[in-house]
Amino acid sequence: MKLTRYILNNVQLHPDPEINVGRRSDHSRDELHELALGAAADIVEAEGIHALTARRIADAIGYSPGTLYNVFAGLDDIIIHLNGRALDDLAGLMVKARRSRDPRTHVLRLLDTYLAFERDHPNRWSVLFEYSLAPSTTLPDWYLAKVNHALSLVEDALSPLTSGAARKLAARTLWASLHGITALAKSGKLDVVTNQTGRHMARHMVVNYLAGLAHHA
């Protein structure tokens, strides 16, 4: 059940909307945090990042936009938390990908997991990989830890081929290259340079990059 639908069905609002906006206080700060993120996730999933505003989130949960700013530092803070959850979901799918002792097979399975996430959740993928935060934004340590966890799953798959700093660099190079191919395919600009699908290009990149690592191992 969508969180916003749950709220509408279970939270009794006063018939005067001005009273609802100004006086609601029937949730704790932690509950408001969860309600707001749930509503924001629903909006992004259905309509994309351009539909996400403090007013839309507040209306969905029956609070004023000002209440949101008592819980979050701003809209970018909400988006960082949404992206943290997207990273958790993507990493969870990567963990479930069937492991293989063959690094090429293992990485290709991780690749297919990444592509499936983009296919099934295109708007969440766009916010996670394409939304630009304000230049002054500093990503919190807990968020960077989630990024590093996802990358560590790629590092683990590469462990038969390389180690240490080289393995970290290889995992990040693969991740960035995959993102570039996927972003071009998603925007329709991959057709300018090739008639191959994004998946075909991505698999070609992975196979040949890993062959290079194996050659130099």
Q: Which two tokens stand for residue 170?
A: 């290889």
Instruction: Specify whether the CB–CB gap between 20 and 59 falls below 8 A.
Output: no
Identify the residue with better confidence: 216 or 44: 44
Residue 62 — left, alpha, or beta (φ > 0 → left; ψ -120 to 50 → alpha)? left
pLDDT(20) > 90 = no
Mean pLDDT of 131-155: 95
Tens digits of residue pLDDT in 33-68? 999 999 999 999 999 999 999 999 999 999 999 989
Q: For residue 24, name the pLDDT band (cuts at 50, 70, 90).
A: low
- Sorted by where each starts, the structural domains of the chain and their CATH numbers stand as 3-68 (no CATH), 83-216 (1.10.357.10)
Q: Which bin fits 191, alpha (ψ -120 to 50), beta or left (φ > 0)? A: alpha
State the Cα–Cα distance between residues 77 and 159, nearest whole angstrom. 35
Question: Rounded distance, CA 2 to CA 82, Å?
Answer: 16
**Residue 180 structure tokens:** 């570039």
